[in-house]
Amino acid sequence: MLVVLGFRDPVADAIGLLRPRTVVGPSLQATGEWALSFDTFLHVRIGGLVCGTCWLILEGHEPVLLEEGDTFMLGNPPPYVLASTPAASPRPAEQVWASAEEGFVRIGPASEDDLYLCVGHIEFDHQNAALLTDLLPPLVIVRAGDPHGNRLGQLIDLLATEVGLTAPGGPLVQNHLAQILLVHMLRAHAGQTDRPTGWLGALNEDGIGAALRAVHADVAYPWDINELAEISHMSRSAFAQAFKSHVGVPPLEYLIQWRMSLARDALSRDALSISELARATGYRSESAFSTAFRRVVGSSPTQFRAQARRSAEVGR
Q: Report helix, strand or coil for 18.
A: helix
Measured CA to CA, the distance from residue 194 to residue 73 in angstroms comes to 17
Angle at 27 between CA 169 and CA 16, to 5 degrees: 55
Measured CA to CA, the distance from residue 243 to residue 257 in angstroms comes to 15
Whole-structure pTM value: 0.76
User: What pLDDT was estimated at residue 8?
Assistant: 60
Classify residue 33 as left (phi > 0), alpha (psi -120 to 50) or beta: beta
pLDDT tens series, the chain, 316 aa:
333 444 467 788 888 888 888 888 788 999 999 999 998 878 899 999 999 999 999 988 899 999 999 999 998 888 999 999 999 999 999 888 888 887 788 998 888 778 899 888 888 888 788 878 877 888 889 999 888 888 888 888 888 888 777 778 888 888 888 888 888 888 888 776 554 467 777 777 788 989 998 998 899 999 999 999 999 999 999 999 999 988 888 999 999 999 999 999 899 888 788 999 999 999 999 999 999 999 999 999 999 999 888 877 776 5
* Domain ranges within the chain, ordered by starting residue: 18-190, 205-315
Strands (E), 76-171: 80-83, 91-92, 104-107, 115-123, 139-142
Q: Report helix, strand or coil for 57.
A: strand
Provide the terminal-to-terminal Cα distance of the chain, rounded to the nearest Å.
28
Measured CA to CA, the distance from residue 214 to residue 232 in angstroms comes to 10
Span 205-315 CATH architecture: Orthogonal Bundle (1.10)
Specify the fold of 18-190. Jelly Rolls (2.60.120)
